[in-house]
Amino acid sequence: MDNPVLEKFRQSFLRKRLRLVLLSFALLLSGFVLYLDLTVRAQFEGKRWALPARVYARPLELYPGLKLRPEQLLTELAMLGYRDSGDSLDPGHYRHDQDRFTIATRPFAFWDGAQPALQLRADFDGDRLRTLADLKTGQPVTLARLDPLLIGGIYPAHNEDRVLVKLNEVPPLLVKGLIAVEDRKFYTHHGVDPRGVGRALVTTLRGAGVQGGSTLTQQLVKNFFLTPERTLRRKFTEMIMAQLLELHYSKDEILEAYANEIYLGQDGNRAIHGFGLASHFYFNRPLSQLDLPQAALLVGLVKGPSYYDPRRHPARALSRRNLVLQEMLQQQAITQQQYAAARATGLGVVEQAPGGTSLYPAFVELVHRQLRRDYHEEDLRSEGLQIFSSLDPLVQFAGERALTTRLTQLEKARRIPPNALEGAVVVSNAQNGEIQALVGGRNTRYEGFNRALDTERPVGSLIKPVIYLTALQRPDSYTLATLLDDSPLVWRERGAPDWEPHNYDKAFHGQVPLRLALANSYNVSSVRLGLSLGVRTVMDNVRRLGVERDLNTYASSLLGADGLSPLEVTQMYETIASGGFRVPLRAIREVLTAEGQPLQRYSLSIEQVIEPGPAYLITSALQGVVREGTADGLNKFLSPDIHVAGKTGTTNDLRDSWFAGYTGDRLAVVWIGRDDNQPINMTGAGGAMTVWGDMMARLDPEPLVPPRPDNVEMVSVDAVTGRRADDNCRGAVSLPFINGSAPVETAPCAASSPGPSIKNWFKRLFE
């Protein structure tokens, strides 16, 4: 050990080793830095925030002659956040004086081009918009749209939501405030503030945890690249990355990224990121339009959006905002006057966050499902697509109101425990298949089980119109006046117990005209008719009308034993309502990219699947259901002049109550039942029909006057026998018949003159 040569050798060996260690450490470190550098650059440059798809309602189209009540326009304007203002006519304001409106519309980029901000004068005459004119020039305006209501979004993972902004859209005062409060040396440091680091180091060494001293750049790095754990190693990485970021990018680029990344609030499970969205979320206005106190509040929120939440803790938020203002004054970012004026202002936060987590979650879910057929889920959640839907907020409002108020009333009236009843409503445009409203349950803001789409309940008598339609497609055998047999029936099928259908009134009705068997929803005659046509034939027609699932072909299927969702029922009736044309139900009109480029249009598509003649006859029969059948109670809600066509549906043991019906402009299907499938003791007429009537009465429906096809003639027949009648017959009714199918024999009341029937016989001979 004392050997000096050996000792020297040892020392030199140690030195070499130390150098080697140091060298490899330096190598490792530079490797690490290089790795961080690559990460920072790749991620910052490739950084694309996941932007949710935004779903909009239909824009309200304004034009002279439009059927709209002034209070409906007021509702629309209120939903859109337009302010009733005495003087200001900035976009988003309006004035209202009885039948006269002055509206300053917001500019909006629609699918077919941008519409600039307009100042419009609209005059009403009763329930019509009489004139529309440009406020300044007085020139008539033929057509203008209000901006559409944002009704929800399809959010990325973690439910981050944001509205991207450019730095020049951020008010300079907000930037000044941010720098005054969060990072005074932002424009001079190189990503890390040495004094801040020193402070942070001291607190850390004192054992008070790793914290503080973060520059804006470090905060950005933390949010961008790192996990929220607080360790020394992470802090070290953060500091290196912050300096690398500063090395490659300008202060403005870093600031812009910060402005879009920062977390500023929470709306349910939706996280509010960036000043752009926060501005809408708290003040319902674009970022560029914020004033000083509002900008100061947003800056104040950076420290703790939950702790300083201006909606839940307004006092805390106010003192935090004032602190920001004070800092700004001290940094001479604002003058004493500005400070005094801003301090004296209230928070100015809107009570309800606009377009928050879906206003209409059930409808947005339908939109989402329809989009999934054409788009990747990931794109929907990240590409910022703009989805223009067909939802009509006014119709949706009527549907929600009618369902919730009626369910409560029905529970009281029928001694059902409160909140036991559930329901669903689907409303569509009877001509083009657009879904205008969809209610998935009585808790209309609940993003859970969507009964309109996913509940599958026996449809009961809602299936019957298809049996009758199938019969009416054979005019040689069946007309609206054909007598059906409603006497007792026993159905024997191998492998199944005998089946004896009964009528709801527990009686049999002998010979019944076809239209009345449907109007009164007689089970026995309907089953007998369906069996003679063939259950499979009837069910094929159900599919032809647009129900896509496989259907059973049991005899009981004729009484609607099989389950369908309210949406499927809507599709089936849509084809009937549109005169035999199958029109696929649509919830989406157009899809645009985040930049407003048209991507896709979902166009109207139709296919004639039922001849116009039988389609006309079945609508006529369904009008009879409302006029003189099981749905005659609708007359309490709507004038008989509307000539509603509809059908009630009731299932075994009164577990489900259905109503499907249409007017000249809308089709709606309502279901009521319990989630646990217990009996609700109400028929279709007692439950669902009242919701339907209540809703439609709020919507001023158009009368249903379908065009009579060429090959259909109106013929007077005796109401009881269904034979041809004349002026002598008192109980005669005028019914549509497909040419050549009207009864030839005259009724006893008209028997005195056999003339008409012979004339008719000759007429038919030569047709």
Give the interface with other proteins as residue ranges (CB under 8 A): 61, 63-65, 111-112, 140, 142-143, 429, 431-432, 434, 579, 581, 590, 601, 603-608, 612, 665, 707, 709
Kindly tell me which of 11 and 608 has the beta carbon lying closer to other proteins: 608
Residue 485: CB atoms within 10 Å: 17
Q: Considering the complex, what minimum distance in angstroms separates the CB of residue 148 from other proteins? A: 14
User: Are 284 and 354 spatial neighbours (Cβ–Cβ below 8 Å)?
Assistant: yes
Tell me whether residue 182 is one of the annotated catalytic residues.
yes
Q: Whole-angstrom Cα distance, residue 295 to residue 491? A: 77
User: Are 264 and 298 spatial neighbours (Cβ–Cβ below 8 Å)?
Assistant: yes
Q: Considering the complex, what minimum distance in angstroms separates the CB of residue 707 from other proteins? A: 5
The amino acid at 98: Q
Q: Considering the complex, what minimum distance in angstroms separates the CB of residue 62 from other proteins? A: 9
Q: Considering the complex, what minimum distance in angstroms separates the CB of residue 543 from other proteins? A: 18
Q: Whole-angstrom Cα distance, residue 95 to residue 285? A: 19
Kindly tell me which of 147 and 590 has the beta carbon lying closer to other proteins: 590
Residue 467: partners with Cβ closer than 8 Å, 6 or more residues away: 526, 529, 530, 533, 538, 558
**Residues 23, 28, 29, CA angle at the centre, nearest 5°?**
95
Q: Considering the complex, what minimum distance in angstroms separates the CB of residue 591 from other proteins? A: 13
Query: Could you give the 3-state DSSP secondary structure of residue 743?
Result: coil
> Which letter does DSSP use for residue 59 in this model?
P
Q: Which of 76, 182, 400, 422 is catalytic?
A: 182
Tell me whether residue 61 is one of the annotated catalytic residues.
no
Nearest-CA neighbor of 56 among 378, 416, 355, 439? Answer: 355
Kindly tell me which of 611 and 632 has the beta carbon lying closer to other proteins: 611
Token output for 532: 């003679």
Kindly tell me which of 188 and 603 has the beta carbon lying closer to other proteins: 603
Token output for 731: 């109980």
User: Are 455 and 565 spatial neighbours (Cβ–Cβ below 8 Å)?
Assistant: yes
Nearest-CA neighbor of 359 among 157, 669, 56, 83? Answer: 56
Kindly tell me which of 238 and 574 has the beta carbon lying closer to other proteins: 574
Token output for 375: 């788009």
Kindly tell me which of 112 and 125 has the beta carbon lying closer to other proteins: 112
Query: Could you give the 3-state DSSP secondary structure of residue 493?
Result: strand
Q: Whole-angstrom Cα distance, residue 300 to residue 180? A: 11
Kindly tell me which of 183 and 574 has the beta carbon lying closer to other proteins: 574
Kindly tell me which of 431 and 721 has the beta carbon lying closer to other proteins: 431
Token output for 461: 């008598």
Q: Considering the complex, what minimum distance in angstroms separates the CB of residue 434 from other proteins? A: 8
User: Are 333 and 177 spatial neighbours (Cβ–Cβ below 8 Å)?
Assistant: yes
Query: Could you give the 3-state DSSP secondary structure of residue 239?
Result: helix
Kindly tell me which of 147 and 486 has the beta carbon lying closer to other proteins: 147
| Strands laid side by side in the 100-104 sheet | 83-84, 93-97, 100-104, 119-125, 128-134
The amino acid at 188: T
Q: Considering the complex, what minimum distance in angstroms separates the CB of residue 405 from other proteins? A: 29
Q: Considering the complex, what minimum distance in angstroms separates the CB of residue 580 from other proteins? A: 9
Q: Considering the complex, what minimum distance in angstroms separates the CB of residue 583 from other proteins? A: 9
End-to-end CA separation in angstroms for the chain: 131
Q: Which of 358, 390, 428, 461 is catalytic?
A: 461
Q: Assign residue 65 a region: left if phi > 0, alpha if psi is -120 to 50, beta otherwise? A: left
Nearest-CA neighbor of 99 among 139, 68, 135, 141? Answer: 68
Q: What share of the chain is helix, strand, coil (3-state, %, to 5)?
A: 40, 20, 40
Catalytic positions are 182, 461
